[in-house]
Structure formats: structure tokens, C-alpha cells
Amino acid sequence: MKTICAMRALMASLALASVTMNVGSSVGAPAEGRFQKLSGSQIRAKVAGMEITDETHWADVFAANGALTSYSMGRKSTGKWHVQKDALCIDRGQDDGGCYQVWLSGKKVELRREGSTLPLEGVLQKQSVRR
């Protein structure tokens, strides 16, 4: 009986130590490890003149004047973008677009749409040269 109690106490101590180490490591984690939701003015400041891309298949270039140029699998298309309240709104025409919350962690970006559980993930960077 004493052995079982001692084992339970040891397991409880190890579990508590594990939780403490995990909590302690997240407290000192760098800011780029956490996503932060951008406000409307922050979206405008961060996105204008930049591109959001998966670095392989697609890229959306956000011109400062509200023009949007999209590149997807070698095809180029145009549209418009604007900020409405605290959301990035994209209009590619033909019912393709919508408004998204913008979450940023370093240069990683997530576009989150209300009602969707999967964000659109990409990288926010200076516009790349394309042919």
C-alpha cells in the first residue's frame, strides 16, 4: 500500500513539474511565436505595398491604391482590396473574395474568416519580381 501511495505521489510530482516547465517556457517565448490580431489601421499599414504568399503556388499583391494582383499556379488576375472595420476585404470578382481578420506572428500571417475553422496561411513579405 505504501508503495502505491509513493508511486502516485511521485507521478503527481512529475506531472506538476511538467506543467510548470511548459508554463514557464511559454512565458518567455518570443513574440513572433504568438499570433496577434491586427486592427484596421494596422492592417492598412502592414499590407499596403506588400504581398501575402504561400511562397510556392499563389501570391496576392496589395497595392497602396487598393488594387489587388493575384498570381495562382502561373495565372495572373486582378481585383481590389480595402479595409472595413478590423478586416481585410478582398474582391476578385465572380463571388471570389470576402473579408478576413488578419493575424500576424513575425512574417507569418493567417487570414481568418468568420464561420471557418481553417485559416488561410501565408507569409507577409515585400513584393517578389514575377514574369
Least Cα distance to 63 among 126, 111, 107 occurs for 126
- Whether 46 maps to a domain, the answer reads yes
- Whether 131 maps to a domain, the answer reads no
Residue 108: per-residue pLDDT: 97
The total of structural domains in the chain comes to 2
pLDDT at 29 over 60: no
pLDDT at 93 over 50: yes
Computed over every residue of the chain, the mean pLDDT equals: 80
Cβ distance 103 to 119 under 8 Å? yes
Cβ distance 98 to 89 under 8 Å? yes
Cβ distance 110 to 124 under 8 Å? no
- Whether 107 maps to a domain, the answer reads yes
Residue 115: pLDDT band (50, 70, 90) is confident
- Whether 79 maps to a domain, the answer reads yes
Mean pLDDT of all residues in 71-79: 93
For 36, the enclosing helix (H) or strand (E) is strand 36-37
Domain residues for the domain of 16 are: 2-29
Cβ distance 60 to 50 under 8 Å? no
Do 15 and 63 lie in one domain? The reply is no
Residue 14: per-residue pLDDT: 33
Angle at 30 between CA 26 and CA 33, to 5 degrees: 80
pLDDT at 17 over 50: no
